[in-house]
A and B are shown apart, each in its own frame.
Chain A
Amino acid sequence: MTDDLTTKTTTTASSSGVKVAMQLKDVAVSFNGRTAVRDATFDVAANRVTSMIGPSGSGKTTLLRALNRLHDLTPGAKVTGKILLEGVDIYGPDLTVTELRTRVGMVFQRPNPFPTMSIYENAVSGLRFNGIKKKSLLDEAAEESLRAAALWESVENRLNVAASNLSGGEQQRLCIARALALKPEVLLMDEPTSALDPIATLRIEELMSTLKQQVTIIIVTHNMQQASRISDDCAFLLMGEDRAGELIEFNTTEKIFNSPIDSRTLDYTLGRFG
């Protein structure tokens, strides 16, 4: 373990006095015995944007989905190591999986509002899942989360139309609003702009920089400029010899892009492979 860490270059945010939202300790995920990603050890600082970059197949999505236990559904999937949310083991007995998921929200690659629900119903769907029925509470949460997702102005007058009437970018912001309505501590985003045009992408990026005041963001992205523009910390993953992804380097985004310690990080950020 200590041997391992000498070759890894990870900083822990806690040492610099920043509040830690999530901690990953030697996290690995395997499917039917085949390791997809391993050696993930880093701290996710609260109220910052942490990006995960790396070539296709390096396990970014796999690692991200371990953080809200979405692998629970997949037969044959196994997560090892420790993942802590404010110090509490998310796979332990002190946190139910549904509570975890209300505290750690997720936005997917493809905008996926519920097709049979209106904009309003989409925005409050998480609250409804959690048993909240009071109209005034729902109304308040809908407005607040739609405002937070910078969508309120454009949908205020058509809250009851089907969500499928929105543009792709608006749908993705609705999905962000839907997650925010539960007031999560952490928001996981898996390439949230890869299905969007440049203008819609820009709006989501702007949104993230304001959102981080209220929620910690972990974002997977293929887009190097995006990672350097919007993230404060950055994790770089790469496939090892056996094709399993592993964490190569974790540091502030500034260091990862300007003075990385591992030469492979430099090669990747300069676009020399992957």
Chain B
Amino acid sequence: MTTNTVQVPRSRRFAVGDSKPPTAERSWYTYVLAAAWILFLGVSGLFFWSIVSKSLPVWQKQAGTIITGTGWGGPYGGLPMIIGTLQTSLIALVIAVVVGLGTAISIVFLIPARLRLITATIVELLAAIPSIVYGVWGLLVLSPWMLAHFYPFLDSLGLTFLGSSNIATGPSILLASIVLAVMILPIFVSITREVISAVPQDLIEASLSLGATRWQVISKTVLPTARIGIMGAAFLALARATGETVAVALTIGTISKVQWHFFYPGTTIASWIATAFGEANSNDIQALMALGVILMVISLGVSLISRWFIARQRKILAKV
């Protein structure tokens, strides 16, 4: 719809500065930059090649089992880790979306400017905390509290499919999921906040001018207009959750078992790799590398979906 009148140079080689630098100088820094670029390509190529090649025997000998098997050693089965990764990150996502959407809406529409700044600062702060701190907090603070209060509370609601609070020991799928939820909350809130702030003011005013209440403006105009971008934020948060290692390793219990009772321990790909590496023999290492490839594919897929959503949201807003 809009035509670009400004020509953006495809390569900025000669666009930097007013005139070309003297030949000697140019060749000097050109080589440095080119070397950096080649180093980058080399390192990333080496990285992918080594991971894939290290895991190659697994893909050749037991490609099916690594995805669908459940035992570890002999044939290596990655199903408990794959399922655990999906379980923890999806539970975390649900919690983070519910809490985060409410938070983002409040930040943009409800709370006064000064509180808004404070809340935004807290969000930034949470994002900057290293994951080991979340893990230790989950283990030392959240876990005892859940053992004493939260598991029994869920028990009393009759949610027996989650397990029994009498048998629970602390580390669990649920604990890891809640820790993950807290960890991915900041990124979800900050992107969602940006997306809903970008909904044009005149759509809000148009709704109000049609007699919409403030709540209707949010539910019928702002959220529908922003929904694709919010999906993008959710998938970005999901990508972060699938790859999280240390905090999960500390709180999930790390047992190679497909675990549907969320009060009990399980494992994820990332936490399994981190914990199993120490005592791994060369066969184990091949299997762990194969798990790494699977995790990479999952994370990459989720990230790509997130980018796709965010790009589509941009397009929607460009049309408005």
Binding site for B on A (CB under 8 A): 68, 70, 73, 75, 98-99, 101-102, 105-106, 108, 110, 112, 114-117, 125-126, 128-130, 164, 175, 178-179, 182
Q: Does B203 belong to the interface (CB within 8 Å)?
A: yes
Query: Are the C-beta atoms of A114 and B206 separated by less than 8 Å?
Result: yes
Alpha-carbon distance A117/B210, docked complex (angstroms): 15
From A106, which residue of chain B is reached at the shortest CB distance?
B209
- The answer to whether A115 and B210 touch (CB under 8 A), given A108-B205, A110-B202, is no
- The answer to whether A102 and B202 touch (CB under 8 A), given A114-B225, A115-B316, A129-B216, is no
From B317, which residue of chain A is reached at the shortest CB distance?
A115
Query: Are the C-beta atoms of B205 and A129 separated by less than 8 Å?
Result: no
Select B210's contact among A75, A99, A110, A182, beta carbons within 8 Å: A182
Query: Are the C-beta atoms of B220 and A115 separated by less than 8 Å?
Result: no
Query: Are the C-beta atoms of B206 and A102 separated by less than 8 Å?
Result: no
Q: Does B42 belong to the interface (CB within 8 Å)?
A: no
B18 to chain A, nearest CB (A): 38
The 4 A-B pairs at the shortest CB distance, nearest first, are namely A126-B210, A102-B211, A106-B209, A129-B212
* Main SS at interface, chain B: helix
Query: Are the C-beta atoms of A112 and B320 separated by less than 8 Å?
Result: yes
A to B CB contacts below 8 Å, 24 in the list: A70-B209, A73-B205, A73-B208, A98-B211, A98-B212, A101-B208, A101-B209, A101-B211, A108-B202, A112-B203, A112-B320, A114-B203, A115-B203, A115-B319, A115-B320, A117-B224, A125-B207, A126-B211, A128-B220, A129-B210, A129-B211, A175-B206, A178-B210, A179-B210
Sample of 18 more A-B contacts, CB < 8 Å, known A70-B209, A164-B319: A68-B209, A98-B212, A105-B209, A106-B206, A106-B209, A108-B205, A112-B203, A115-B203, A115-B225, A115-B320, A116-B224, A125-B207, A126-B210, A129-B220, A164-B320, A179-B209, A182-B210, A182-B211
Q: Does B213 belong to the interface (CB within 8 Å)?
A: yes
User: Which residues of chain B from 192 to 207 have a CB within 8 Å of any chain A CB?
Assistant: 200, 202-203, 205-207
Query: Are the C-beta atoms of A112 and B220 separated by less than 8 Å?
Result: no
Query: Are the C-beta atoms of A112 and B202 separated by less than 8 Å?
Result: yes
Q: Does B221 belong to the interface (CB within 8 Å)?
A: yes
Alpha-carbon distance A230/B66, docked complex (angstroms): 76
Query: Are the C-beta atoms of A105 and B210 separated by less than 8 Å?
Result: yes
A145 to chain B, nearest CB (A): 12
How many chain-B residues does the 8 Å CB contact rule pick out? 23
Binding site for A on B (CB under 8 A): 113, 200, 202-203, 205-213, 216, 220-221, 224-225, 227, 316-317, 319-320
Query: Are the C-beta atoms of A70 and B210 separated by less than 8 Å?
Result: no
Alpha-carbon distance A129/B211, docked complex (angstroms): 7
Select A108's contact among B206, B213, B227, B320, beta carbons within 8 Å: B206
Alpha-carbon distance A68/B224, docked complex (angstroms): 25
Alpha-carbon distance A73/B206, docked complex (angstroms): 13
Alpha-carbon distance A73/B225, docked complex (angstroms): 20
B222 to chain A, nearest CB (A): 11
Which residue, B113, B202, B209, B212, has most C-beta atoms of chain A within 10 A?
Answer: B209
Alpha-carbon distance A110/B203, docked complex (angstroms): 10
Residues from chain B with a CB closer than 8 A to the CB of A182 are 210-211
- The answer to whether A99 and B205 touch (CB under 8 A), given A112-B200, A114-B221, A128-B220, is no
Alpha-carbon distance A70/B210, docked complex (angstroms): 11
Query: Are the C-beta atoms of B210 and A125 separated by less than 8 Å?
Result: yes
Residues from chain B with a CB closer than 8 A to the CB of A112 are 200, 202-203, 206, 320
Residues from chain B with a CB closer than 8 A to the CB of A110 are 202
Alpha-carbon distance A108/B209, docked complex (angstroms): 10
Alpha-carbon distance A249/B317, docked complex (angstroms): 41
From A178, which residue of chain B is reached at the shortest CB distance?
B210
Residues from chain A with a CB closer than 8 A to the CB of B221 are 114
Residues from chain A with a CB closer than 8 A to the CB of B320 are 112, 115, 164
Residues from chain A with a CB closer than 8 A to the CB of B113 are 75
Alpha-carbon distance A175/B205, docked complex (angstroms): 12
